[in-house]
A = this chain, B = another copy of it.
Amino acid sequence: MKKVNQQSTLTITPRSLDMQAADLLREQILSGSFAPGTRLLEVDLSAQFGLSRGTIRSALQQLTHEGLAVQYPYRGCAVCSLSAQDAWELYTLRQALETLAARLACDQITPERSQRLQAALSQLANAASQQNWREVAEADFALHQVIVQAAGHRRLQAQYKVVEQQIRLYIISCNALYSDLDQIVAEHQHLVNAIISGDATLAEQVAKSHNTDGEMLVEQLRQAEVV
């Protein structure tokens, strides 16, 4: 009789109601159901979710810490709106984190990790060949996740995730499109090769130059603000 333990896929992991509420709200925000600027009122969400206001409050505090919501004391909470300055911050910060991740992943590269990088790169190439920019975006995120995980750095992972979420929010709010899918694949090919090569300085340099989608996003927001 096999014991059910914490590593089993049969485990039910308890998750407090406030965290579940935060998860659901995050999903709504990142799927575009709650546009930037949407007010997130404790009273409304409490009624909608069938939970107490305190529980919702705790969930909103969590989202505020993740940068997805902004709190206005006594006046409500809202989904975060983004300026060009915000986009610039995210793009520069993401790049710094990805550069660190590339170097550390490279320092600790293993055959198994190489395979996972290659697999993620293949997914990206497949999505690009189908001209499906949404899947390209997802494959792009997934590839970077693999790199960041390969860095073996919990804080880096946590911080990268927060940045990624905010970037997702901005992509949705801009209806950002990827204009040159082949270039994106080529850039990522170059990055993965550099990491797998074991040359940390090269990996770092390539990651530093890896900015096509970030620059595009900042530019789009800048133009939107000028109009």
Give the distance to chain B from A54, nearest Cβ to Cβ, in Å. 6
Q: Which residues of B contact A73 (CB under 8 A)?
A: 14, 16
Asked whether A89 and B155 contact (CB < 8 A) given A73-B14, A96-B96, A97-B96, the answer is yes
Cβ of A90 < 8 Å from any Cβ of B? yes
The complex is assembled from copies of this chain, and their number is: 2
Between A67, A92, A154, the greatest number of chain B beta carbons within 10 A of the residue's beta carbon is seen for: A92
Between A89, A153, A155, the greatest number of chain B beta carbons within 10 A of the residue's beta carbon is seen for: A155
Give the distance to chain B from A107, nearest Cβ to Cβ, in Å. 10
Give the distance to chain B from A89, nearest Cβ to Cβ, in Å. 5
Closest to A73 in B: B16
Q: Which residues of B contact A159 (CB under 8 A)?
A: 93, 159
Closest to A163 in B: B155
Cβ of A65 < 8 Å from any Cβ of B? yes
Cβ of A211 < 8 Å from any Cβ of B? no
CA A54 – CA B61 in complex, angstroms?
Answer: 13
Cβ of A124 < 8 Å from any Cβ of B? no
* Cβ 8 A contact of A65, one of B65, B99, B155: B65
* Cβ 8 A contact of A93, one of B62, B65, B153: B153
Q: Which residues of B contact A58 (CB under 8 A)?
A: 57-58, 61
Asked whether A92 and B61 contact (CB < 8 A) given A14-B73, A54-B54, A73-B14, the answer is no
Q: Which residues of B contact A90 (CB under 8 A)?
A: 155
Closest to A153 in B: B89
CA A89 – CA B16 in complex, angstroms?
Answer: 28
9 contacts between A and B (CB under 8 A): A14-B73, A57-B58, A58-B58, A61-B62, A67-B155, A89-B153, A92-B104, A92-B156, A96-B100
| 9 nearest CB pairs, A to B | A96-B100, A65-B65, A89-B155, A96-B96, A89-B153, A93-B155, A61-B61, A93-B156, A54-B54
Report which A residues bind B (CB closer than 8 A): 14, 16, 54, 57-58, 61-62, 65, 67, 73, 89-90, 92-93, 96-97, 99-100, 104, 153-156, 159
